[in-house]
């Protein structure tokens, strides 16, 4: 399906709204938080009353981001809000259970670059070809004539590098690199962002990684590698779940592996599965079989079953895709 961002209609909706709630998905990554803060700060420049919301704790490697103190984990009364803007996802359930219960009947705008649940094009900005949601945010802010500060540039740049794997993934295009250069000229520091996001690991993260790597298994003649992360491992390592961000890259980076899976326990009989691929396998299609979504080479889903059954279901889907 080809989607075209409806910038003109989106701009009008934003201009018409006075009180705006900007939200992003639970278990946020750099693109979700960078986009939320950049958009919220930019809208405040225009005199809007803005609340920036995420239900979860901000990952340790994103604590350096500017304006982080303006983010809240408490939802306002949505009856007091003119417009809710959902970033980096288009499914209310991904924002969180409380939000999903409250949002029914509320006017929403979707700004996203993921495949999956598709909102109507009119008045929304959904572009699966975009490297990150932050790139869509940047374009909207420019169209709104927001002054691009060093802080906004840093936030947009963080979203861009986190979703392109610091320019290693296949979504790194000439256009992406040109945008990165523009953001650097505005004051974003590649060295500061990379050091803060990638070179700031607490000892607990390394302890957790050692436990997760012990679960490494190969499947289908080495074309698939899987890892498992349990709550017991978190307790043993003295770690938090956000410290596992990026662990799947160790499985994906093995020679001969085309698809990698990280099966992460969230609670009893509930597992979050992260999927990554290198070349030909569309893991978004795999995730969609279980109600998830994402991109061709990076996707995820949640399955509510016991671990052995979760593992069996995921591996069967991967085997069919590889065959």
Burial 6-45 (b: 16+ CB within 10 A, else e): beeebeebbeebeebbbbbbbbbbbbbbbbbbbbbbbbbb
Q: What is the mean predicted confidence (pLDDT) over 151-175?
A: 96
Residue where a domain terminates, one of 132, 162, 197: 197
Q: Domain containing 130: what range?
A: 7-197
Locate 73 and state its tokens: 């984990």
Domain end, chosen from 197, 223, 240, is at: 197
Position 294 pLDDT exceeds 60? yes
Is 2 within the bounds of a domain?
Answer: no
Q: Is residue 151 part of a domain?
A: yes
Residue 124 has pLDDT above 80, yes or no: yes
CB contact at 8 A, 285 and 275: no
Which pair of structure tokens corresponds to residue 193?
């962002």
Q: Are residues 222 and 108 in the same domain?
A: no
Q: How confident is the model at residue 116 (pLDDT cuts 50, 70, 90)?
A: low
Looking at residue 1, what is its pLDDT?
Answer: 46
Same domain for 192 and 208, yes or no, is no
- The residue among 197, 193, 143 whose CA lies nearest residue 9 is 143
pLDDT of 5 strictly over 80: no
Q: What are phi and psi of 181, to 5 degrees?
A: -60, -40
With contact defined as beta carbons under 8 Å apart, do 43 and 147 qualify?
no
Measured CA to CA, the distance from residue 272 to residue 252 in angstroms comes to 17
CA distance 26 to 24: 7
Q: Is residue 281 part of a domain?
A: yes
pLDDT at 119 over 60: no
- Answer whether residue 2 shows pLDDT above 60: no
pLDDT of 321 reads: 95
Provide the 10 A C-beta neighbour count for residue 85.
29
Look up residue 129 and give its two tokens.
């070809």
**Any idea which residue has 């895709």 for tokens?**
321
Same domain (yes/no): 14, 139: yes
Number of domains in the chain: 2
If one counts every other C-beta atom within 10 angstroms of the C-beta of residue 256, the result is 11
Tens of pLDDT, residues 52-103: 999 999 999 999 999 999 999 999 999 899 999 999 988 888 899 999 999 8
Mean pLDDT of the 259-274 span: 95
User: Domain of 299: which CATH number?
Assistant: 3.10.310.30
Q: Do β-strands 217-219 and 224-229 pair in parallel, antiparallel, or remain unpaired?
A: antiparallel
Helices (H), the chain: 7-16, 30-45, 92-95, 97-102, 133-143, 150-163, 174-185, 190-198, 203-213, 231-237, 248-252, 283-288, 307-322
End of a domain among 157, 174, 197? 197
pLDDT band at 118 (very low <50, low <70, confident <90, very high): low
């Amino acid at each position: 399906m080809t989607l075209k961002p409806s910038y003109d209609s989106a701009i009008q909706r934003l201009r018409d709204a006075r009180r705006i709630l900007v939200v992003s998905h639970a278990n946020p990554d750099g693109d979700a938080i960078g986009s939320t803060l950049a958009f919220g700060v930019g809208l405040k420049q225009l005199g809007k009353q803005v609340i920036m919301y995420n239900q979860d704790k901000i990952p340790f490697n994103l604590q350096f981001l500017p304006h982080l103190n303006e983010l809240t984990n408490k939802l306002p009364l949505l009856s007091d809000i003119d417009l809710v803007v959902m970033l980096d996802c288009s499914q209310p359930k991904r924002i969180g259970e409380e939000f999903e219960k409250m949002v029914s009947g509320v006017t929403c705008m979707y700004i996203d670059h993921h495949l999956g649940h598709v909102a109507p094009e009119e008045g929304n900005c959904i572009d699966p070809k975009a490297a990150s949601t932050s790139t869509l945010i940047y374009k909207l802010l420019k169209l709104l004539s927001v002054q691009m500060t060093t802080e906004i540039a840093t936030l947009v740049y963080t979203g861009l590098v986190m979703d392109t794997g610091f320019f290693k993934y296949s979504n790194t295009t000439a256009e992406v690199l040109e945008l990165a250069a523009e953001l650097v000229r505005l004051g974003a520091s590649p060295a500061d962002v990379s050091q803060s996001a990638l070179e700031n690991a607490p000892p607990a993260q390394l302890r957790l990684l050692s436990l997760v790597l012990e679960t490494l298994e190969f499947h289908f003649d080495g074309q698939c590698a899987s890892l498992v992360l349990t709550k017991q491992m978190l307790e043993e390592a003295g770690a938090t779940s956000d410290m596992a961000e990026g662990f799947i890259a160790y499985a994906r980076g093995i020679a001969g592996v085309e698809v990698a899976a990280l099966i992460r326990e969230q609670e009893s009989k509930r597992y979050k599965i992260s999927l990554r691929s290198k070349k030909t396998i569309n893991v978004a299609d795999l995730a969609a079989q279980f109600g998830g979504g994402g991109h061709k080479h990076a996707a995820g889903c949640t399955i509510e079953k016991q671990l052995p059954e979760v593992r069996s279901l995921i591996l069967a889907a991967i085997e069919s895709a590889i065959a």
